[in-house]
Structure formats: structure tokens, C-alpha cells
Amino acid sequence: MEQVLSYAINSKEVGIFAILFIVLLAWVLRTNDQRENRYLNVIDKYGDQIYGQVTATDGKVDRLKEDVDDLKTDVGVIKSDVSKIMGTK
């Protein structure tokens, strides 16, 4: 890095533009790293919250499935009783 910087300073052909490019590149890399760390923190924070909500919802879905199965059984019994009363099969 130091060699590139000293070449850019001493070279009349590239000079200030090379220095500006190197400074801009270093700044972009630093800010990208900071942004990535913020994104990772947000993902970790909300990922844990979403996981908690999914696991809480999972139990509710299982109970609803059992209730629906019970209702289906009850409807089958009611249909059977109604068909016996009506004299149809």
C-alpha cells in the first residue's frame, strides 16, 4: 500500500487522481464494512423475534388442526344421524 501511495505521489502522470482514487476506495471499503455490520445486527435482532413468533404460532396451528379434525368427526356423525332420521343412506 505504501509503495502504491509513494508511486502516486511521485508520479507526474497519475499524481493527484491516483491519490484521490486510493482515498475514495479506502473510504468506500470502510463505510461498506460499517453498513454490513449494521445490517447483520438488524438481521440478528429481528431474526430472533421472528423465530419466537413462529414457534409460538406453531403450537396454535397444531391445536387448530386438532379442533378442525374434531369438527370433521362431529359433522360426519351429524350427517350419519340425519340420514338415519330421513331414511336415506
| Whether the Cβ atoms of residue 9 and residue 19 lie closer than 8 Å to each other | yes
Domain that residue 10 falls in:
2-86
63-74 pLDDT, tens digit each: 889 999 999 999
Q: Is the dihedral of CA 55, 57, 59, 65 positive or negative?
A: negative
pLDDT over 60 (residue 53): yes
pTM summary value? 0.46
Compute the distance between CA of residue 14 and CA of residue 20 in angstroms, rounded to an integer.
10
Higher pLDDT, 50 or 32: 32
Total structural domains within the chain: 1
Confidence grade of residue 1 (pLDDT, cut at 50, 70, 90): low
Higher pLDDT, 18 or 61: 61
10-19 pLDDT, tens digit each: 776 767 777 7
